A = this chain, B = another copy of it.
């Protein structure tokens, strides 16, 4: 995809709607991918994101060791990939190969971007005080990329047990809310 840099102050608009994301991490053998839904914006700029990653996930160790990751946002065309990455473990699966995904080097972190996703957020871990108690990492988005052709991404939103809501229409209301 023809990737374009997104101003960091606009990052919240990608994550605030609550999409399922694919988190990539670098590893000594190979990079890994995990499917994740438990995240929230915590600050506009620099953009901070809180995400809960259980230590039962293979990605927990990779994120903890490297302190870096990329949040990739998939759309409905990638739904089988989203479920596949959620149902397998990086301990015994090379997910990029298994799910035919294309790793692209990031600009500022060691974890790769997923080329097939319309948005990619390069992140560094900036606070681990809630990792021991809640597995909550605070990430700072240091570089953001989007496919400018995707204006209304049909993101996936997990309702539980494989039920996903697909993003519908966008409406514009007279709001002063950022």
> What residues make up the interface of A, taking CB atoms closer than 8 Å to B?
10, 12-13, 16-19, 35, 37-43, 48, 50-52, 76, 79-80, 82-83, 86-87, 127, 129-130, 133-134, 136, 138, 152, 154-155, 157-178
Contacts and interface: CB of A to CB of B under 8 A. Distances in A.
A87 B167 contact: no
A159 B10 CA distance: 10
A16 B158 contact: yes
Pairs of residues from A and B, 6 with the lowest C-beta to C-beta distance, nearest first? A18-B18, A168-B168, A162-B175, A17-B157, A13-B160, A40-B40
A160 B13 CA distance: 5
A173 B17 contact: no
Given A87-B177, A174-B83, A16 B52 contact: no
A52 B80 contact: no
Nearest to A162: B175
Given A40-B38, A42-B134, A43-B134, A16 B160 contact: yes
Q: Which of A13, A17, A167, A177 lies at the interface centre, i.e. has the most chain B CB atoms within 10 A of its CB?
A: A17
A117 B65 CA distance: 43
A55 to B, nearest CB: 13
B175 A170 contact: no
Contact of A173 (B42, B79, B138): B79
A171 B16 CA distance: 21
A169 B76 CA distance: 11
B170 A163 contact: yes
Given A52-B41, A79-B171, A173-B79, A160 B134 contact: no
A169 B168 contact: yes
A42 B35 contact: no
